Copies of this chain bind each other. A is one copy, B any other.
């Protein structure tokens, strides 16, 4: 049974780290449950990974960074898995090439489940030795939980990319789609104003956050307004109908080149049926486009072009964070749990940022180039993984995630 995605930022944890670890590990298996071993083996494109690989890689992360350094007597499950399931950690040695992950029919899904059980047993042993939530192992487990939650979202987005290419258009889960569409809305969007000034941005260090959310620091904002709601599919249809994809004046130069080369005429996973009506491939299968739902599967180029067409702009990530955390932020709907929201901020380090030493330091910093920050969270983000200060990031042309937008404008 799938947990519905959280529609608010995570509250402070009241559970122990080991209890949350167990839940997280279990939830990952639940996400894989509707899928056959075959479904779990294949990747649809270089950016996406097989479910089985996600199951194994998150496990490898705990084995490599938690158990091997911190559990005396731990025995590595299988040396070859280190090569197979390292993702991008140069410091952790050579690894299987990303575009070839879908060729790994061995180890089998059953073997990967056994690997998970082996590592879970190790994590249990370790938990018994850790009295409280503090200390280096607990800190690393916390990173591992958050890492695995990220991959929970990728399991959903990656299987969607695979099923969308399948002529049978299979549904991942009928329930999921229902839960998602219930969250749609029809209220008219309003503009919510926020004052300028020197504002504090970034995580305060209380509770878990990724290194890229700090150091906390000040930024200077000018007065601005945000839309109370995300742009909807109905809004997007108006953009399409107005020839939005045919007018270069709305597009970044790279974006125009991209839509010409790829033939994009609509968001990702949209297609027309024989009658010419728009349909969208979703986790619930191929469905009519729901006009009240937030538009998703947009590239940065499309989000930016839509904003120009609207005479508005994308918010900066600082505007988003300040607004979402302020009192008037209560009036902003759909901050979390619907669609990641493209900002105009290129992904970069905060002043004073320094990645951790060693392989774990490769988590975030080395990607600070040619990517844009997205804020909020999506319908695929697991419960407990959303934060005001959370910084997601993708290249401008990525659109296999649940990515949408919220409009902004200058207030003065």
Cβ-based interface call for A218 (8 A): yes
Flag A336-356 by CB within 8 Å of B: 1 or 0 each.
000000001110110110000
| Min CB gap A368→B, angstroms | 7
Q: With A256-B90, A344-B348 in contact, is A36–B105 under 8 Å at CB?
A: yes
Cβ-based interface call for A96 (8 A): yes
A167→B107 CA distance, assembly (Å): 10
Cβ-based interface call for A396 (8 A): yes
A369-B352 in contact (CB<8A): no
* Residue numbers in B under 8 Å from A286 (CB-CB): none
* Residue numbers in B under 8 Å from A39 (CB-CB): 105-106
A102-B42 in contact (CB<8A): yes
Binding stretch for chain B, among A64-72, A127-135, A246-254, A322-330? A246-254
A106-B166 in contact (CB<8A): yes
| Min CB gap A97→B, angstroms | 10
Write the residues of chain A forming the contact surface with B, with a CB cutoff of 8 angstroms: 36-42, 44, 80, 83-84, 88, 90-91, 96, 100, 102-109, 162-163, 165-168, 170, 198, 217-220, 222, 248-249, 251-256, 300-301, 304, 344-346, 348-349, 351-352, 366-370, 396, 410
Query: In the complex, given contacts A36-B37, A42-B102, A253-B366, what are 13 additional A-B residue pairs having Cβ atoms less than 8 angstroms apart?
Result: A36-B108, A38-B106, A84-B167, A88-B253, A104-B166, A104-B167, A106-B163, A106-B170, A222-B352, A253-B367, A254-B367, A256-B366, A352-B410
